[in-house]
Structure 1
């Protein structure tokens, strides 16, 4: 896995409604404010994406840098959730074979705009969340 100098950074598709809801979901439950966020459409986010082999023009995954390593697809989602208060139980889902987890993840990711919709521009977070966004 590739290294990145910043830790606990979640890379997401800023125009994807589902992805933006994911960011808000995490931010509301992350009482320690451990995670920060970067849209793939930002300069910082695009650089992070390219480092981990994600095409910023056609992202098919979110990612999280945790412990100096990048986690993609279902590993990213489970890693984030497992570090939120009250969500440590999701660690048990790592027992599900990765190809199966990633198959489900990819199915949703490929169809996210059709299912959930898309913003015309990156969503603008409220003032509290804005302090945790890296652009």
Structure 2
């Protein structure tokens, strides 16, 4: 089973909720989590900077972002068939438009944590620091 890393904005409430949601639907525990400020990112992927997107790093070190990252992640989690199919058949350019609007306004719409925190549902072994 391929292992993937989700890189997220630890201050973003929406991002933290998404990561918790994914962690709770990851039966194989093959999804790992880290934030942009982690030593893992600084040492291995210094080109990744905090922005308005979530990143996925695949086992082959290919980096995916926005809708590509979401679609790839959905391959590994337990998910409602309808939702999985809807996301799968939706064109990336449409999903990216929606994604960019939400991402640009994420703090206004969902709030911002005062400190970077570990979202609920993530087991310690799946956190990369």
Cα distance in structure 1, aligned partners of 2:4 and 2:55: 10
Q: Offset of 1:97 from its aligned partner?
A: 2.3
* Corresponding residue of 2:18: 22
Aligned match of 2:29:
33
- How far apart are the structure 1 equivalents of 2:95 and 2:58? 19
Post-superposition offset of 1:67: 4.5
Q: How does 1:96-115 map to 2 (within 5 A)?
A: 96-115=90-109
* Structure 1, unaligned runs of 5 or more: 1-5
Q: Report matched runs for 1:53-132 at 5 Å.
A: 54-56=48-50, 59-68=51-60, 69-87=62-80, 90=84, 93-125=87-119, 129-132=123-126
Deviation digits for residues 66-104 of structure 1, max 9, x if unmatched? 252221001111111122124566255343222211010
Secondary structure of residue in 1 paired with 2:57: strand
RMSD of aligned residue pairs (Cα, Å)? 2.4
Cα pair 1:49 1:55 within 8 Å, conserved: no
Matches of 2:5 and 2:25, distance apart in 1: 15
TM-score, normalisation: structure 2? 0.82
Long gaps (5+) in structure 2: none
Shift of 1:28: 0.6
